[in-house]
Chain A
């Protein structure tokens, strides 16, 4: 009896958790007459890709897709590189000011980004960096950097320094020892961390609205998706197809990297 109750509630949670995602993809594949019927169907009876065609052919889709990918990948790679350096200094070296630096990074992890919209706009304008993907990349880099450092530090601390020392004794320089010994062991950590960064930058909505003003060609997918709703108002099939296309890269990346995510979350206790 207890067993049954447990399983029933687990299945209940499972359905509630998965349903919105399922409904998004399902609606995207339904023909319009099925979407507009009074009794909803819960499986793809007459699958179609017409809504995906509408979404992909909507103005700007490929441009915004490219912009999002450029900005996100740029920010994540930059954050990984910079964070790798900083977390190495924190996890492997003793120096004055280390404690203060760690506290500052922890604090920056919870930075009130929405409070900085106006000053960041003014700074960008004064430096002639409005309507520039570089500035956007810079901001996303900074948003993702603190938790990238915290997480990588966690992964790095889990790798015994003796391994590097042994390699150094064998005649490797510190850099070579790091590249040959630590880097491969750190790979899962790097993947999990980049996933968090990817989700954050891919999602970002407030700064792109403030920093990209005139040049519509430079907008990103979140902005496109939020305006798509207004343009295609009642076309829920196309809207859900657009949402699916927006969610797909993150979901695929997530499924691909899922094995590493659990450890990543406990290592840094961060959220994307």
Chain B
């Protein structure tokens, strides 16, 4: 191999150029704006003035930001626990099924995963529609009569719940199929010997399966944390962060401040704080990936 070939650098040049122009530059620009007085006027005329940490001070002093932050943490925790929990359950279930049922379940998961976000969001609006929605019909048929004509999207907690169901439904397939793929790489002998030693299903999972797949679990969990925390189109289309801000998470908050209030400076400050929060999740994830 030649020591100083220009080829590798030529081959990565388009990637580096694209990343510099469409990722790094906007990121730096967002950072700069977050230290400026940048509103409608500055957007049109230019000439924004630097105001130091004022945007951050305004944000951190207000009550709303902290509510949004707490809500985002709760939103992320609830979704990720459900996604990883259900994904693990399904992944463990798959190899025990008969071939036909297993293929059917895997195809169903693939289909749910492939359904475009906006299409799925529209379908969930229809499923939870108050008068004609099939969910209310099912609940009433099962005897929960209070759900007759129940308007899910008028109540904050109910809208939050519907969004959790939607995001979990969309995300479980990835977790389940990835963990299942990992499971199939564990030699069957390991399970057999654990069984012969008298291990119960629960013990086999914690003593054999989980340690073998620790890396994969960590990877799936941290990817889901990032995706769920960043999740935007579902919330925006379904509820626009409402009702009464009950579903406003950090990305929705940043978008609302920028688009609706034209506070681009404050929106950028929210975005930068989101980046910092995600970076914390990201760094542990990166270190693992680089090591492996």
B22 at the A/B interface (Cβ < 8 Å)? yes
Kindly list chain B residues whose C-beta atoms are within 8 Å of the C-beta of A139. Answer: 22
A187 at the A/B interface (Cβ < 8 Å)? no
Kindly list chain A residues whose C-beta atoms are within 8 Å of the C-beta of B163. Answer: none
**Nearest chain A residue, comparing its CB with the CB of B7:** A93
**Nearest chain B residue, comparing its CB with the CB of A85:** B11
- Looking at the assembled complex, report how far the CB atom of B12 sits from the nearest CB atom of chain A, in whole angstroms: 5
Per the 8 Å Cβ criterion, residues 95-135 of B in contact with A are 96-98, 101, 104-105, 107-120, 122-127, 129, 132, 134
Per the 8 Å Cβ criterion, residues 253-270 of A in contact with B are 253-254, 258, 261-262, 265-266, 269
Q: Are A239 and B122 in contact (CB under 8 A)?
A: yes
Q: Are B122 and A112 in contact (CB under 8 A)?
A: no
Interface residue from B19, B137, B255, B272 paired with A114 (Cβ < 8 Å): B255
**Nearest chain B residue, comparing its CB with the CB of A105:** B15
Which of B24-32, B150-158, B192-200, B202-210 lies at the binding interface?
A: B24-32
Q: Are B8 and A93 in contact (CB under 8 A)?
A: yes
Kindly list chain A residues whose C-beta atoms are within 8 Å of the C-beta of B182. Answer: 266
Q: How far is the CA of A222 from the CA of B122 in the complex (A)?
A: 11
Interface bits A101-127 vs B (CB < 8 Å: 1, else 0): 111111110111111111110110000
**Nearest chain A residue, comparing its CB with the CB of B181:** A266
Number of interface residues of B (CB under 8 A): 89
Q: Are A114 and B282 in contact (CB under 8 A)?
A: no
Q: Are A102 and B290 in contact (CB under 8 A)?
A: yes
Interface bits A70-98 vs B (CB < 8 Å: 1, else 0): 00000000000011011011100111001
**Nearest chain B residue, comparing its CB with the CB of A26:** B134
**A118-B30, A118-B268 are contacts. A141–B18 as well, Cβ < 8 Å?**
yes
**A103-B286, A206-B255 are contacts. A111–B110 as well, Cβ < 8 Å?**
no
Q: How far is the CA of A101 from the CA of B9 in the complex (A)?
A: 11
Kindly list chain B residues whose C-beta atoms are within 8 Å of the C-beta of A218. Answer: none
Interface bits B213-253 vs A (CB < 8 Å: 1, else 0): 00000011001001100101100110000000000000100
Interface residue from B16, B110, B169, B173 paired with A258 (Cβ < 8 Å): B110
B285 at the A/B interface (Cβ < 8 Å)? yes
Per the 8 Å Cβ criterion, residues 139-159 of A in contact with B are 139, 141-142, 145, 149
Interface centre among B111, B173, B219, B289 (most CB of A within 10 A): B111
B77 at the A/B interface (Cβ < 8 Å)? no
**A10-B97, A114-B271 are contacts. A106–B110 as well, Cβ < 8 Å?**
no
Q: Are B97 and A86 in contact (CB under 8 A)?
A: no
Interface residue from B105, B233, B254, B286 paired with A17 (Cβ < 8 Å): B105
Interface residue from B14, B134, B232, B275 paired with A82 (Cβ < 8 Å): B14
Q: Are A20 and B181 in contact (CB under 8 A)?
A: no
Q: Are B93 and A10 in contact (CB under 8 A)?
A: yes
**What is the count of residue pairs linking A and B with beta-carbon distances less than 8 angstroms?**
255
Interface residue from B97, B110, B132, B237 paired with A6 (Cβ < 8 Å): B97
Q: How far is the CA of A179 from the CA of B112 in the complex (A)?
A: 36
Q: How far is the CA of A107 from the CA of B43 in the complex (A)?
A: 30
B23 at the A/B interface (Cβ < 8 Å)? yes
B260 at the A/B interface (Cβ < 8 Å)? no
Q: Are B114 and A251 in contact (CB under 8 A)?
A: yes
A231 at the A/B interface (Cβ < 8 Å)? no
Q: Are A23 and B15 in contact (CB under 8 A)?
A: no
**A18-B112, A250-B115 are contacts. A229–B18 as well, Cβ < 8 Å?**
no
Q: How far is the CA of A265 from the CA of B124 in the complex (A)?
A: 26
Question: 16 A-B Cβ contacts within 8 A?
Answer: A6-B96, A9-B93, A14-B101, A24-B119, A85-B14, A90-B12, A107-B282, A107-B286, A116-B23, A119-B268, A138-B22, A203-B116, A206-B255, A247-B120, A258-B110, A269-B220
17 new A-B contacts, CB < 8 A, other than A6-B96, A24-B126, A226-B237, are A17-B108, A20-B124, A82-B18, A86-B11, A86-B12, A111-B23, A114-B254, A115-B274, A117-B254, A119-B33, A142-B23, A145-B15, A222-B118, A225-B118, A240-B126, A243-B122, A261-B110
Binding site for A on B (CB under 8 A): 1, 5, 7-9, 11-12, 14-16, 18-19, 22-23, 25-27, 29-30, 33, 43, 90, 93, 96-98, 101, 104-105, 107-120, 122-127, 129, 132, 134, 137, 169, 172-174, 177-178, 181-182, 219-220, 223, 226-227, 230, 232-233, 236-237, 251, 254-255, 258-259, 264, 267-268, 271-272, 274-275, 278, 282, 285-286, 289-290
Binding site for B on A (CB under 8 A): 6-7, 9-11, 13-14, 16-18, 20-21, 23-24, 27, 35-36, 38-40, 82-83, 85-86, 88-90, 93-95, 98-99, 101-108, 110-120, 122-123, 138-139, 141-142, 145, 149, 199, 202-203, 205-206, 210, 222, 225-226, 229, 236, 239-240, 242-244, 246-247, 250-251, 253-254, 258, 261-262, 265-266, 269, 271
